[in-house]
Amino acid sequence: MHSRVGDHRRGESPKRGEAADPEPEPVPGLPEGGPVLPGRRGAAGPGRPRDRGRGEGRVGVLERGVSVGPRAVVQAGCFVGAGARIGADAFLYPNVTLRERCEIGARAIIHSGTVIGSDGFGFVRDGDVHRKLPQVGNVVVEDDVELGACVTIDRATTGTTRIGAGSKIDNLVQIAHNVQVGKNCIIVAQVGISGSTVLGDDVVLAGQVGVVGHIEIGAGAMIGAKSGVSKSVKPGEKLFGYPALPVTQAMRIEASLRHLPELLQTVRQLKRRVEELEGPSSLK
């Protein structure tokens, strides 16, 4: 279902011989008090950003069977697929994509360029080609979640990819199919989480952390920036490095690496000294 707002500003009349564009038609099946369509101004509730303008001439798409809660705002250029649901007071900035059958909870804020419900990365080798596996699940973003710009959350192969209530996700984060993110997690920019990994509540992943698939990161765990997580993490653990290790151990290794050039020079000097005393064959 397309909605379009005319190019004429509120209160201005069209030029002679020019017809005014009609107001957007209502979307079938939407509840009363439903979406603020692209270009339509909506009241800002407590803690919600304001719709900054009418967005004249912009186009958005809400397909059949979409459900949009009261006071939700869907700004210009958004695509909302068939059967998708948007909770009360949610705010979708321009050019958000919410694919079919995916859900956004109440008071969620979704920034521009984010795609929710793209296909999971699932293929099977068949001779010389990769065959695509159907991705028939969905994504559920629970209440009070904020997603930054250009976040991508893949739909589950089957079942649901889930982002827990109150979690905050920074720009440019990739979350793969069937990942389960707990409540009140913090995921900083450029993190990548592979398929079917589970994050407990209150997990913190700093910038550019990479997480392999099919592991569990326990509640309250914290992973330092640019770390590579290759196995499950216990609740409350603090890890850093590649591969990710307990912070104190990782820091000792990091400090030792700084002395590596001097250590190599010392080893060469000792080798020469041994050769002088015992001959070259003594070190073979």
Q: Quick check: 4 pLDDT over 80? A: no
Paired tokens of 30: 């939407």
Q: Residues 181-204: pLDDT tens digits?
A: 999 999 999 999 999 999 999 999
Residue 177 appears among annotated catalytic residues: yes
Q: Quick check: 41 pLDDT over 60? A: no
Helix 247-258 / helix 260-278 crossing angle, nearest 10 deg: 60
Q: Residues 94-144: pLDDT tens digits?
A: 999 999 999 999 999 999 999 999 999 999 999 999 999 999 999 999 999
Which band of pLDDT confidence, cut at 50, 70 and 90, is reported for residue 36?
Answer: very low
Across the range 63-85, mean pLDDT stands at: 94
Across the range 37-59, mean pLDDT stands at: 41
User: Residue type at 35?
Assistant: P
Find the angle CA(153)-CA(156)-CA(159) to the nearest 5 degrees.
Answer: 135
Q: Which residue, among 88, 196, 187, has the nearest Cα to 144 in the 3D structure?
A: 88
Give all domains of the chain, ordered by start, each with its CATH number: 2-245 (2.160.10.10), 246-284 (no CATH)
Catalytic residue among 8, 130, 177, 214: 177
- State the pTM of this model: 0.77
Q: What is the DSSP string of 171-238?
A: TT-EE-TT-EE-TT-EE-TT-EE-TT-EE-TT-EE-TT-EE-SS-EE-TT-EE-TT-EE-S-B-TT-E
Residues in the chain: 284
Q: What is the DSSP string of 66-117?
A: -EE-TT-EE-TT-EE-TT-EE-TT-EE-TT-EE-TT-EE-TT-EE-TT-EEE
In this structure, are strands 152-154 and 115-118 parallel, antiparallel, or unpaired?
parallel
Across the range 11-24, mean pLDDT stands at: 46
What pLDDT shows up at residue 155?
98
Query: Which residue is listed with tokens 């920074």?
Result: 170
Average pLDDT in the chain = 84
Contact partners, residue 132, CB within 8 Å, separation at least 6: 119, 122, 123
54 with 39: CB under 8 angstroms?
A: yes
Residues above pLDDT 90, as percent of the chain: 68
What pLDDT shows up at residue 279?
73
